[in-house]
């Protein structure tokens, strides 16, 4: 299997939602795409089948991004299948909400492990293995930067603030190899996971936060990632792109 543009992208957390949309878009743009998943193999394989049926090149690889050994194997699988890695999209993340006073150790530790250490593990492998001219695209959230930090988002927002800090630092550390490092920070996005359990009045409120008066779609976020991963994004580096329709 060979990508039409000769490049390979790893997308973590790519079996559904925003990650699946990113993987599909990058495959359509000519990348060979490694669809990473943590535990739901059937969803990942179904996503790969859709991409292949559309003419794309894709492979599903299981890895828990919070574990450094599994991140290393994820890169090795991509290299074995496609010859190297050019783009890392660290999309995998979890959101477990509780007030700081009610957050237990398990919630804190797991959120840090996936949202911060998972991104760190990816960048550490990218530092050694990403090919010249590559791209690192991390995921933050527009929760960071809101004029009013929302109750129950303390731990989650802290992890995304950490991702943004590491993004800025890594962009400077990896100089000299023509590799860009950026973060995308989505606002409210209409995925099944986001919409689940929310009453209609809350969804309507979130929709109206943007001057465009709609929720983002997974494809909106995928388009931003595709821009950063492609040749038109080569002069964007060390930035956080808040893809939220004008919420902030």
Just list the catalytic residues: 156
**79 CB burial (10 A radius; 0-12, 13-18, 19+):** middle
Helix 41-53 crosses helix 17-28 at what angle (to 10 degrees)?
30
Please choose, from the candidates 89, 220, 197, 202, the residue with its C-alpha nearest in 3D space to the C-alpha of residue 142: 220
Q: Where are the beta strands (DSSP E) in 102-216?
A: 130-139, 180-184
Q: How far apart are CA 62 and CA 50, in angstroms?
A: 18
Residue 81 and residue 58 in contact, taking contact as beta carbons nearer than 8 Å = no
Concatenated DSSP letters for 7-24? -EEEETT-SSHHHHHHHH
Exposure class string for 87-121: b at 16+ Cβ within 10 A, else e: bbbbbbbbbeebeeeebeeebbeebbbbbbbbbbb
**4 CB burial (10 A radius; 0-12, 13-18, 19+):** middle
């Amino acid at each position: 299997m060979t990508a039409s543009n000769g490049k390979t992208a790893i997308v973590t957390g790519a079996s559904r939602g925003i990650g699946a949309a990113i993987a599909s878009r990058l495959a359509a743009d000519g990348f060979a795409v490694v669809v990473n998943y943590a535990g739901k193999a059937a969803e990942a394989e179904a996503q790969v089948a859709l991409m292949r049926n559309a003419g794309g090149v894709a492979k599903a690889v299981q890895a828990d991004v919070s574990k450094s050994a599994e991140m290393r194997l994820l890169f090795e699988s991509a290299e074995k299948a496609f010859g190297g890695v050019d783009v890392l999209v660290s999309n995998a993340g979890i959101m477990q909400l509780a007030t700081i006073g009610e957050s237990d150790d398990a919630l804190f530790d797991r959120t840090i492990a996936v949202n911060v250490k998972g991104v760190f593990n990816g960048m550490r492998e990218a530092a050694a293995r990403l090919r010249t001219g590559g791209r690192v695209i991390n995921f933050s959230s527009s929760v960071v930067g809101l004029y009013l930090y929302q109750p129950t988002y303390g731990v989650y927002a802290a992890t995304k603030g950490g991702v943004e800090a590491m993004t800025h630092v890594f962009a400077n550390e990896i100089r000299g190899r023509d590799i860009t490092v950026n973060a995308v920070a989505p606002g409210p996005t209409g995925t099944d996971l986001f919409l689940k359990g929310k009453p209609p009045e809350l969804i309507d409120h979130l929709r109206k936060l943007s001057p465009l008066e709609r929720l983002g779609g997974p494809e909106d976020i995928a388009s931003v990632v595709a821009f950063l991963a492609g040749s038109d994004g080569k002069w964007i580096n060390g930035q956080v792109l808040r893809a939220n329709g004008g919420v902030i």
